[in-house]
Amino acid sequence: MMSGMKGRVLVVDDDTALAEMLGIVLRGEGFEPSFVADGDKALAAFREAKPDLVLLDLMLPGRDGIEVCRLIRAESGVPIVMLTAKSDTVDVVVGLESGADDYIVKPFKPKELVARIRARLRRSEEPAPEQLAIGDLVIDVAGHSVKREGQSIALTPLEFDLLVALARKPWQVFTREVLLEQVWGYRHAADTRLVNVHVQRLRSKVERDPERPEIVVTVRGVGYKAGPS
Amino acid sequence: MSRDSSSSAPGGPGARSGRTGPARRASRFGRLVDGGLLLQGGVQGSPVLRLFVRWVRRPLLPAVRLWRRNIQLKVVVTTLLMSLGVVLMLGFAVMSSVNNGLLKAKVKASQSQADGGFRAAQDSVNAARQSTEQGQGQGPDGSTVDGRNAAVWMSDLVEQLSSGGQNAFAVVTLTSTSDAGSVRGSRASGGVEPILSVPEELRGRVDKGTEVFQANTRIEYDDGREAQPGLVIGKRLNDLNGDPYQLYYLFPLTQEEESLNLVRTTLATAGLFVVVLLGAIAWLVVRQVVTPVRMAAGIAERLSAGRLQERMKVTGEDDIARLGEAFNKMAQNLQLKIQQLEELSRMQRRFVSDVSHELRTPLTTVRMAADVIHEARVDFDPVTARSAELLADQLDRFELLLADLLEISRFDAGAAALEAEAIDLREVVRRVVGGAEMLAERKGTHIRVVGDQQPVVAEADARRVERVLRNLVVNAVEHGEGKDVVVRLAAAGGAVAVAVRDYGVGLKPGEATRVFSRFWRADPARARTTGGTGLGLSIALEDARLHGGWLQAWGEPGGGSQFRLTLPRTADEPLRGSPIPLEPDDSRRHRGLNDAGLPLGGGNKLATVPAQAAAVSQKASPPVPAKGPIAPRLARAAAVDLTALPGNGSRVVSRRSPDDEVSSAVREGSESPAPQRGTTTSPDSQQAQKSQQAQQAQQAQESWETQGSQAPPQPQESQARSREPEPEPEAEAAREAEAGSAREGESARGR
């Protein structure tokens, strides 16, 4: 149990019953929930509440969840977990591409939700000063920064975790399942699309040419590995 | 080992390579035992003839294809040929009538002229004789005087006869051929060369008879004029001395011949023109009809390719225009219907999506609330606590059912999309088996994985494949009655396969296809132990179909079942066969046992072995040695592990147990008297011996195809005894063996 970790969670959901239920569960697990029901007001609520994590329903009145996700991502790297009723590929991929770190499909169990939230919040309590190199990138794990030739590259915490996981063991080929477990904290294999989408996003930020990746290399049929440094 | 090499060839269909086996044997039997059959088969009997026919046909093929495909060419050529025939017939008719008209008259005139001549000659002889008799006494030397007189008389006669002709004819006298040595030479008027102008044959005839003869000839001249066609009429007459001589009238036919030639040339030219013109007209007319038809065909093709806005150009009000109008109307209706259907499908998808959202949001709340209550149930009184438990359990079930329903409706709406990438099926199997371990432990089942030495890589959607396999494995564990479950992987040719084998209650005949029906239950009376939704296998089937793969079931009552998932190695490649036989090698039938577990007679057993299972088994998975039927599982497991399984179609030397050697010997013995049956069976050892001759496969295969298709149906009684769950094992085998019949295989699964 990670007692003592008081996470502030912003719940963006228009269904009041679900929001209330989420509140009950989250409070029971020691989180501090705050609520907003309207997509248009979500950004303002986000700025005001300064949450450690956002639970975002994809279908919202006013601005839809995808848009809200993009807006929040534009100004913060705070973890975003989408709540979606649509497990269809397109919806999930669109959500992930708009910046969400993880998604959870309704109906979910409270424990599942809490596990995901914890997994997203856990990383903030990793200290360990560590310098890693991957390709021509230099990663300062404790300082949470990635630099190429002195220029720092802005990554979300999740992208950073993904990069660090690959960079720590450059000799190892990571299957998507292993990455899911290490980066997302899933015990059981879930949707590997998460990995695909986030690898794409990471590449678009760290690769010189995302079409010909050199930092995060695909190993056909297996998974990904760090490129030679 | 040709079968191995062919099965490892990229894209080489698994079952096809298996086919060379029976093919070889079939051809051998065809030659040795039943040579007469092949002879009756006609062309197939003689490879040389076949080769020749092929050699002749090859360069002609484009022309033949053009002929078959081009109606315009067909009509024009037919018109040309037919009009040519008509013109020829007409020409001959006209020519013969002109011939009659022109020549007959001339011939008649000539005949009367000649008759007159002959009479005059006769008269002249008679007159000369009379005058000689009156004027001169007959002396002993009269003959020489007469001879001189006769020669003079003859010359006079020729001159006299020809003088009336004015070059319309010439007169020739010749001595009789029998009197060739006579001093009297031939005489001719008008510069005619007498010997050459009169045909030898006519002279012969004239010589023998006394009547008038005639013949066609070419009149030759000795004064340098050109020879010309003519009619010669001749008769034998007697001269002054009573000696026979031949008198010929020669009538030149130049004018008539020229007229005839003119007519002939005119007719031929006109005929040629008519034929060419008719051809051109036919071409034009057909073009008028064919062009719109071709346009319609092209537009129909584009329509069927999805370009629904394509329309025909319509001008005028004729039949073609009506065709165009009807066609356009059809296209419009089609477009409308398709749009409606698309709209419906879109609405359906929207609806599914909306229902999904609308149902799921409250369900989430209920779910969470139920969980909270469930967590706190220790504080409740027993009734409420139990209610909380039931609530939570049934919510799980409800959720599963909802998820499956939505998944199925997504398939129905065609909204399911494949996210294929190269995955190693061993990973998926490992995850699935890992996930099923808990359930297996509870049931006392051990899950074994076979064939995972080499990577089994295919382009597939890992999520869907995992869902399929999880379903199969969980089903196998649930229905396995605590016995082992074997998950077998294999790859060969262009396909990979995973088969899940259990040894539980199995399937009754006919159930192998019904298991995939929605909400189908093996035994409605049986209590449901685990909360399956009844949609699992239907979804699995759809998942397999989405990959272009097969999901098939085999089972025998009390003997367990096997579910086999076959996927193409690359996403777009059609499946032709599976590396794993649908019916496992340790099935009751393959072990030679009947339902009661008693051994079958060798010969009967042979007749019921389906070609497919046998053919595939040689190539992909080595046979499991026949051990005791319900033998201890460990023993069989060891045997299975001993035999190397091909991961990617590599060579496999199957190790055989002594039992098998014996049984194959028995099979060989029982096979020879029934060669036809031999085409549907394939004992492995025999296969190995014969595999060296596999190179003649091409030829042999073809003869097998014809023979194989004529293979007699299985004996009713043995089929009944074997109680084969698949209705037509042979048909299934044929279907699997048939190249390029991937969709067929699919339909077989869905039947």
Span A40-66, mean pLDDT? 87
Number of domains comprising chain B? 2
Judge whether B105 and B253 are in contact, CB under 8 Å: no
User: Domain check: are B635 and B491 in the same one?
Assistant: yes
Judge whether A162 and A134 are in contact, CB under 8 Å: no
* Min Cα separation B44/chain A (Å): 48
pLDDT for residue B148: 61
Chain B residue nearest residue A85, CA to CA: B357
Span B138-150, mean pLDDT? 51
Give the count of beta carbons closer than 10 Å to the beta carbon of residue B167: 10
Q: Can you give the pTM of this predicted structure?
A: 0.48
Is B435 in contact with A22 (Cβ distance < 8 A)? Answer: no
Contacts of B410 in chain A (CB under 8 A): 88
Is A15 in contact with B368 (Cβ distance < 8 A)? Answer: no
From the number of C-beta atoms within 10 Å of its C-beta (0-12, 13-18, 19+), residue B89 rates as: exposed
Contacts of A190 in chain B (CB under 8 A): none
Domain carrying residue B704: 421-522+531-750
Q: Which residues contact B335 (CB under 8 A, 6 or more apart)?
A: B308, B309
Q: Is residue B233 part of a domain?
A: no
Domain ranges for chain A, please list them: 8-124, 126-226
Q: Cα angle at B362 between B358 and B367, to 5 degrees?
A: 135
CB-based contact, A24 to chain B, within 8 Å: yes
Nearest of A91, A59, A90, A66 to residue A80 by alpha carbon: A66
Of residues B297 and B637, more confidence is placed in B297
> Could you tell me the two tokens for B161?
């006869």
pLDDT in tens, B480-508: 888 889 999 998 888 899 999 988 888 88
DSSP string, B85-154: HHHHHHHHHHHHHHHIIIIIHHHHHHHHHHHHHHHHHHHHHHHHHHHHHHHS---TTHHHHHHHHHHHHH
Q: Is the pLDDT of residue B75 over 90?
A: no
pLDDT in tens, B635-652: 333 333 333 333 333 333
Judge whether B278 and B87 are in contact, CB under 8 Å: no
Nearest of B220, B231, B143 to residue B186 by alpha carbon: B220
Amino acid at B703: S
* Min Cα separation A193/chain B (Å): 9
Q: How far is CA B432 from CA B467, B474, B500, in A?
A: 8, 9, 12
Of residues B612 and B269, more confidence is placed in B269
pLDDT for residue A11: 93
Residue B616 pLDDT class (50, 70, 90 cuts): very low
Q: Which of A207-216, B217-226, B613-622 has the lowest mean pLDDT?
A: B613-622
Is A59 in contact with B357 (Cβ distance < 8 A)? Answer: yes
pLDDT for residue B360: 82
DSSP string, B582-643: SS-TTSTTTTTB-TTSPBPPHHHHHHHS-HHHHHHHHHSSPPPP---TT--HHHHHHHHHHS
DSSP tag of A184: I
User: Domain check: are B562 and B428 in the same one?
Assistant: yes
Span B368-381, mean pLDDT? 89
Burial B198-229 (b: 16+ CB within 10 A, else e): beeebbebbbeeeeebbbebebbbeeeeeebb
User: Domain check: are B491 and B353 in the same one?
Assistant: no
> Could you tell me the two tokens for B268?
């031929």
* Min Cα separation B374/chain A (Å): 11
CATH number assigned to the domain comprising residue B731 = 3.30.565.10
User: Domain check: are B389 and B455 in the same one?
Assistant: no
What are residue B185's phi and psi, to 5 degrees?
Answer: -80, -175
User: Domain check: are B374 and B454 in the same one?
Assistant: no
What three-state secondary structure class fits A214?
coil
CA–CA separation, B597 and B601 (whole Å)? 13
CA–CA separation, A54 and A117 (whole Å)? 9
Q: Is residue B290 part of a domain?
A: no
Burial A171-200 (b: 16+ CB within 10 A, else e): eeebbbbbbbbbbbbbeebbbbbbbbbbbe
Fold entry, domain A126-226: Arc Repressor Mutant, subunit A (1.10.10)
Q: Is the pLDDT of residue A146 over 70?
A: yes
User: Domain check: are B427 and B370 in the same one?
Assistant: no
What three-state secondary structure class fits A145?
strand
pLDDT for residue B727: 38
Residues forming beta bridges with residue B553, ordered by sequence position:
B563
pLDDT in tens, B379-404: 889 999 999 999 988 888 888 888 88
Strand intervals (E) in B145-278: 170-175, 187-188, 213-219, 228-238, 244-252
pLDDT for residue A128: 63
pLDDT for residue B751: 34
CA–CA separation, A51 and A32 (whole Å)? 9
- pLDDT more than 70, % of chain B: 66
CB-based contact, A222 to chain B, within 8 Å: yes
- Alpha helix ranges (H) inside A5-105: 16-28, 39-49, 65-75, 89-97
What three-state secondary structure class fits A80?
strand
Contacts of B368 in chain A (CB under 8 A): 18, 21-22, 24-25, 109-110
Q: Which residues contact B242 (CB under 8 A, 6 or more apart)?
A: none
User: Domain check: are B476 and B331 in the same one?
Assistant: no
Judge whether B730 and B676 are in contact, CB under 8 Å: no
Residue A154 pLDDT class (50, 70, 90 cuts): confident
Q: Is the pLDDT of residue B634 over 90?
A: no
pLDDT for residue B308: 78
CB-based contact, A86 to chain B, within 8 Å: yes
Task: Select the CATH number that applies to the domain covering A8-124 from these four: 3.40.50.2300, 3.30.300.180, 3.50.50.60, 3.30.70.1140.
Answer: 3.40.50.2300
Cα separation of the two ends of chain A: 38
pLDDT for residue B377: 86
Q: Is the pLDDT of residue B680 over 60?
A: no
Q: Which residues contact B205 (CB under 8 A, 6 or more apart)?
A: B213
Chain B interface with A: residues with Cβ < 8 Å: 353, 356-357, 360-369, 371-372, 399, 410, 415, 417, 419, 422-424, 427, 431, 435, 455, 457, 462-463, 466
Q: Cα angle at B657 between B654 and B663, to 5 degrees?
A: 100
Span B294-301, mean pLDDT? 84
What three-state secondary structure class fits B495?
strand
Residue B533 pLDDT class (50, 70, 90 cuts): confident
Is A107 in contact with B363 (Cβ distance < 8 A)? Answer: yes
Judge whether B560 and B504 are in contact, CB under 8 Å: yes
What are residue B454's phi and psi, to 5 degrees?
Answer: -105, 160
Cα separation of the two ends of chain B: 36
Q: Is residue B240 part of a domain?
A: no
Q: Is the pLDDT of residue B715 over 70?
A: no
Chain A residue nearest residue B372, CA to CA: A25
Q: Look-up: residue for tokens 């005791």?
A: B628
Q: Is the pLDDT of residue B692 over 80?
A: no
pLDDT for residue A35: 92
Judge whether B79 and B276 are in contact, CB under 8 Å: no
User: Domain check: are B382 and B436 in the same one?
Assistant: no
Q: What count of CB pairs under 8 Å joins A to B? A: 75
CA A86 and chain centroid, separation: 19
Q: Cα angle at B589 between B4 and B595, to 5 degrees?
A: 165
Farthest CA pair distance, chain B:
181
Residues forming beta bridges with residue A10, ordered by sequence position:
A34, A54
pLDDT in tens, A122-140: 765 555 667 787 878 888 8
Q: Is the pLDDT of residue B176 over 60?
A: yes
Q: Is residue B536 part of a domain?
A: yes
User: Domain check: are B386 and B505 in the same one?
Assistant: no
pLDDT for residue B528: 52
Mean pLDDT of chain B: 71
Residue A2 pLDDT class (50, 70, 90 cuts): very low
What three-state secondary structure class fits B515?
coil
Mean pLDDT of chain A: 82
Q: Is the pLDDT of residue B725 over 60?
A: no
CA–CA separation, B316 and B292 (whole Å)? 12
Q: Sign of dihedral through CA atoms B430, B436, B441, B447?
A: negative
What are residue B219's phi and psi, to 5 degrees?
Answer: -85, 120
Q: Is residue B454 part of a domain?
A: yes
What three-state secondary structure class fits B518?
coil
pLDDT for residue A54: 92
pLDDT for residue B603: 38
Helix, strand, coil shares of chain B, percent, nearest 5, are 60, 10, 30
pLDDT for residue B487: 92
CA–CA separation, B292 and B315 (whole Å)? 10
Q: Is the pLDDT of residue B584 over 80?
A: yes
Q: Is the pLDDT of residue B62 over 90?
A: no
User: Domain check: are B679 and B552 in the same one?
Assistant: yes
Residue B194 pLDDT class (50, 70, 90 cuts): confident
Give the count of beta carbons closer than 10 Å to the beta carbon of residue B194: 22
Best A86, A94, A175 residue to mutate vs chain B (most B CBs within 10 Å): A86
Is A189 in contact with B466 (Cβ distance < 8 A)? Answer: yes
Number of residues that make up chain B? 751
Best B353, B357, B368 residue to mutate vs chain A (most A CBs within 10 Å): B368
User: Domain check: are B358 and B482 in the same one?
Assistant: no
CA–CA separation, A121 and A79 (whole Å)? 8
Task: Compute the half-sphere exposure of residue B359: CA atoms within 13 Å on the CB side of its CA.
Answer: 15
pLDDT in tens, B239-250: 777 777 888 888
Strand intervals (E) in B351-482: 421-424, 447-450, 457-460
pLDDT for residue B500: 92
Amino acid at B381: D
pLDDT for residue B631: 38
Q: Sign of dihedral through CA atoms B607, B608, B611, B614?
A: negative
